[in-house]
Structure 1
Amino acid sequence: MKKETYLIILAFFSIYVFWGSTYLWNKIVVSEAPAFMLAGLRFTTAGLLIFFIAKITGKSLKITPKQLRNSVLAGFFFLVYGNGVFVWALNYVDSGFAALLAALQPLSILLLMRITQKKGLKPKSIVGVVLGLIGMYLLVSQQEIAMKEGAVLGIGMIFTCILSWSIGSLFVAKADLPKNFFITTGYQMVSAGVLLWIISLVINEPWSFPNTWSTRAQISMVCLVIFGGIAAFTSFNYLLKKVSTEKVATSAYVNPVVALFLGWYFLDEQVTLQSMIAAVVLLSGVYFINSVKKNDKTTLRKPWRRGRG
């Protein structure tokens, strides 16, 4: 097996398992700290750590003005809006439920591709879209979910986060960014962290310091920075350049399984029978989206990679 194949497998493990765990970690910390301050602290710390590691390992931090602009824009789509607002929404919905909503991302990407790139949907992709819509209906139509205070607002904002992340995925796949995926991640995180700090100050969030948090929240924050931040996001950027965007987006199907289990085990979150059925329907879409033939994948990637120059 080639070295690149091993790296791709390891990268998929990272975005599947580590990102699936971030719903739990974020839920724990956001119960003790304001959302945008939390996200700003997380990404600024992770980004600076990346720059430090890059410096001591002799990697160049050079970046062109265009690459810097693209990094800031990608950081906004993924981390400022896509993640910062998502973490805020966790104040109103359970972590496992939020992860299931995030499974809409692959469907969102397919529809955006259809609109912006004039790409027709493959038969298997159409089946995936249909299953996804059925799963979403089963999930959000539960009366016990809709009756929770703020649940409708939280769900609505999560949908906008999914759209932002999908737009960012298509943008990064063709954007001119630093060739080193580790450095790319660092610039996206630091720029997003600064923007999140500014937003937190503007909306006057009541800041708190990690030394005032519980041990559980402190450990969760460390996991968010190292595993959910540096490891998973670097893997994500790497995969966007190596495989089709639809395949990378299948992490949104696997993450809910991890999140549902962890939310149930550590936070005593309720997992209803209807939620389990919805999860099965959504996860079945992995096969249909992830079974695109090799020649189909090549066709999909060509226009995106052209943007690398």
Structure 2
Amino acid sequence: MSSSNSTLFIILAFFSIYVIWGSTYLLNKIAVSELPPFMLASIRFITAGLLIFIIAKLMGKSLAITKRQLVNVFIAGFLFLTLGNGVVVWALKYVDSGFAALEISAQPLVVLVLMRVFQGKKIKAMSVLGVILGIVGIYLLVSQNEVVSKEGSIIGMVMIFFCMVSWASGSLFVGNADLPSNYFVNTGYQMLAGGFMLVIGSLIFGEVWSFPNVWSEEVQWSMILLIVFGSIVAFTSFNFLLKKVSPDKVATSTYVNPIIALLLGWYFLNEVITTQSIVAAIVLLTGVYFINTKKKLVIFARFRK
């Protein structure tokens, strides 16, 4: 791949994880209002995985995989999809789609901490400021009476936090793991692995399954969009970026995701955007910016001189 083509694919991939993933909160919220969460997520990922394999074969791509790679795609599928996404879908039964996206916008903070703990990466002064702002933003977000007074909201918020930890762990793992070299095939295996583990979770929790023909039209369309764009396009872009840029840069999708999710939830689902949520969003996203910026904190730089 030439340098110019690689740059173009990186730009398109970032657009995909920025914009498309921002809309998946709305689509999941619509679907989970009618379908059991683990069933919903498992159907989405297994269908997407099978479609990816069919497309890959038509493109002449090899689906060969080593034992080590198979183990790794199951680990990645579990961290990203079974826990990192499936449990978020479950939490959407109790929290608004825009709120979930705002809480998840703190993910770069989690990635930074995990990179420090497991990789020994030094935390810069600007990043320290970003962490402080992130903590303040999360507090402002979750302390609202409009949020904590809703039934099941607290457990929903806690589970979303664990999903962030799972997703961040997956980001670090995939960056160095032996996985199928083709990003498309790699995505397909992760989708199938995560989807099958979600089926097991669905059976354990006794969810009642149903066929698509009995779903409402809006749920059917939501599932189609989730499979084609949210899973195949965006997740392939995500895996591509994890091999091309650092995990903390990939996590910058959280700049845009919550804004899109908030606006779509407000427009289509009449979700309330409180003043405190807006302030929390500004504080959180400012913190995310400081975590990822290459600039130095002037006051610290001058002090060191």
Q: Percent identity?
A: 63
Deviation, 1:148, is 0.6
Q: Distance in 2 between matches of 1:26 and 1:198?
A: 20
Counterpart AA for 1:2? S
Matches within 5 A, 1:1-150: 2-150=4-152
Asked if the contact 2:106/2:288 (under 8 Å) is kept, the reply is no
Residue in 2 that maps onto 1:216 = 218
Secondary structure of the corresponding residue to residue 150 of structure 2: coil
Residue in 1 that maps onto 2:301 = none
Secondary structure of the corresponding residue to residue 148 of structure 1: coil
Secondary structure of the corresponding residue to residue 193 of structure 2: helix
Secondary structure of the corresponding residue to residue 249 of structure 1: helix
Counterpart AA for 1:190? L
Q: Distance in 2 between matches of 1:167 and 1:287?
A: 21
Counterpart AA for 1:225? I
Matches within 5 A, 1:164-175: 164-175=166-177
Q: Distance in 2 between matches of 1:184 and 1:219?
A: 26
Moved >3 Å (runs of 4+): none
Q: Distance in 2 between matches of 1:230 and 1:285?
A: 30
Deviation, 1:166, is 0.7
Q: Distance in 1 between matches of 2:290 and 2:106?
A: 14
Counterpart AA for 1:68? L
Counterpart AA for 1:134? V
How many pairs are equivalent?
A: 293
> What is the RMSD computed on CA atoms of the aligned residues?
1.1
Residue in 2 that maps onto 1:226 = 228
Counterpart AA for 1:265? Y
Matches within 5 A, 1:200-279: 200-279=202-281
Deviations 1:15-48 (A, max 9, x none): 0111000000000000110000000000000000
Q: Distance in 2 between matches of 1:243 and 1:291?
A: 14
Deviation, 1:7, is 0.6
Q: Distance in 2 between matches of 1:53 and 1:286?
A: 36
Counterpart AA for 2:74? V
Residue in 1 that maps onto 2:190 = 188
TM-score (normalised: structure 1)? 0.93
- Which 5+ residue runs of structure 1 have no aligned equivalent? 294-309
Asked if the contact 1:72/1:188 (under 8 Å) is kept, the reply is yes
Q: Distance in 2 between matches of 1:280 and 1:120?
A: 26
Deviation, 1:289, is 3.1
Residue in 1 that maps onto 2:303 = none
Asked if the contact 1:103/1:253 (under 8 Å) is kept, the reply is yes
Asked if the contact 1:247/1:289 (under 8 Å) is kept, the reply is no
Q: Distance in 2 between matches of 1:85 and 1:287?
A: 27
Q: Distance in 2 between matches of 1:200 and 1:80?
A: 11
More moved, 194-203 vs 138-147: 194-203
Counterpart AA for 1:253? Y
Deviations 1:86-143 (A, max 9, x none): 1001010000000001012110010111111122101221122112111101101111
Secondary structure of the corresponding residue to residue 284 of structure 1: helix
Q: Distance in 2 between matches of 1:43 and 1:139?
A: 30
Asked if the contact 2:109/2:288 (under 8 Å) is kept, the reply is no
Q: Distance in 2 between matches of 1:46 and 1:285?
A: 34
Deviation, 1:286, is 4.2
Counterpart AA for 2:107? Q
Q: Distance in 2 between matches of 1:119 and 1:201?
A: 40
Deviation, 1:292, is 2.7
Residue in 1 that maps onto 2:283 = 281
Asked if the contact 1:254/1:283 (under 8 Å) is kept, the reply is no
Q: Distance in 1 between matches of 2:174 and 2:269?
A: 35
